[in-house]
Structure 1
Amino acid sequence: MIGAVLAGGKSRRFGGNKLLYRIDGKLLVLHTIERLESCPSVEEVVLIASQENAGSLERFGRRVVVDELLVGPLGGIYTALKLGDAFVVAGDMPSIVPELVEAIIGEFRRRNVDACVPRWPNGYIEPLHAAYSTRFRKAIEKQLNEGEYQIKKAIEPANVCYFPLEGVPKEWHVSFFNVNRKEEVKRIGPYTLID
């Protein structure tokens, strides 16, 4: 299974390319990449990029694949699944918990589903911290043909299992933290913009 890091966003709320901000001496996206690489079930980490930021991501020495659809995260997942089954995360998730990733992948494999998506007790799902089969591309194609780009709308009718989060250790909840604004980066550690 690949680990697919969605890294094509424009970081509008952040006001600059947040993936290239240093947090505790390391670029934000590298925190995400290295956490995924420490998962035994992840054979390779691939960066899913836009055409405009692909060049800046090649410096990390991982495969960079360009998302030609540019319809948001749904297009990034679709692009990643061309390469095989994938555990998909957003590039701005620096605190991924490998044990949680392994638990989700394990459930995905046991259940032989198109997707295994974490779900909170209130019903909220975490589609950018989830495992997807290449079969899920058909569900995405249907959504794309209908001009609908919400991931949730593709997940709901699919052969999906929901990974219940009420049973996981509370310290694993940090795995879902993502950085949207500079104030959030400051809560993690000192930061600087890197060219």
Structure 2
Amino acid sequence: MLGILLAGGRSRRFGNDKLLFRVDGRPLIQHALERLESASLIDEVIVVASPDNVGRLRGLGCEVVVDELSVGPAGGVYTALGLGDAFVAAGDMPLIVPELVDHIIREFARQGKTACVPRWSNGYLEPLHAAYSRVFRGILEERIHSGDYSLNGAIRSADVCYLEVEGLPSHWRGSFFNVNSRSDLRKLMANSK
């Protein structure tokens, strides 16, 4: 299965391009890339980038595809699914757990739904740590054409399988950590020491 890292955000809360901010000597996105590549069921990792940052991300050592829609995560997932079924994660998730990625992909294959998405007991979804079928692209296309760019809304309207996060091993939950702010970065750096 393809592994896709979305790298289209503008890093407004962070202040500058967080994906290239160096953590332990490597860009933040490189940590996510290496962990996603380590999942045994991922064949190749591709970065889906906005037109603004595609040039800066080309040196990562993997293919970079441009999200021409630039309508947020729904557009990135739509672009990714043009390449095939995919496990999609955010580029600012440096603690991806390869075993969790494999577990989600196995459940996705076993259940045969259009997507397999982790869900917390309060209903919160983890749409950028999920497996999607190419069929889901059609659902996104209809919604995007109607001006609805909500990825969560598209998921909730489709026939998907949910993985209850609280039922997963607790040490896998760090996989959902993402860096939105400088304080998130400080937490990450404190834990890496």
Output the TM-score relative to the length of structure 1: 0.95
Residue in 2 that maps onto 1:95:
95
* 1:23 and 2:49 correspond: no
Residue in 2 that maps onto 1:65:
65
Larger helix share, 1 or 2: 2
Instruction: Structure 2: state its 5+ residue gaps.
Output: none
1:13-60 residue CA offsets vs partner (Å, 9 max, x unmatched): 000000011112221000000000000111000000011111111101
In 1: Cα distance, 2:44 partner to 2:92 partner: 18
1:119 CA drift (Å): 0.5
Q: Is the deviation greater in 150-159 or in 82-91?
A: 150-159
In 1: Cα distance, 2:122 partner to 2:52 partner: 37
In the alignment, is the contact (CA less than 8 A) between 1:6 and 1:49 conserved in 2?
Answer: yes
Residue in 2 that maps onto 1:155:
155
1:172 CA drift (Å): 0.9
Residue in 1 that maps onto 2:125:
125
In 2: Cα distance, 1:145 partner to 1:127 partner: 20
Residue in 1 that maps onto 2:6:
6
In the alignment, is the contact (CA less than 8 A) between 1:50 and 1:66 conserved in 2?
Answer: yes
Percent same amino acid at aligned positions? 56
Instruction: Structure 1: state its 5+ residue gaps.
Output: 191-195
Matches within 5 A, 1:168-179: 168-179=168-179
Residue in 2 that maps onto 1:75:
75
**Residue-pair matches, total:** 190
1:112 CA drift (Å): 0.9
SS at match of 2:116: strand
1:149-168 residue CA offsets vs partner (Å, 9 max, x unmatched): 11111111212000111111
SS at match of 1:87: strand
- Aligned-residue CA RMSD in angstroms? 0.9
Matches within 5 A, 1:134-149: 134-149=134-149
Output the TM-score relative to the length of structure 2: 0.96
SS at match of 1:88: strand
If asked which structure has higher relative contact order (CA below 8 Å, sep 6+), I would say 1
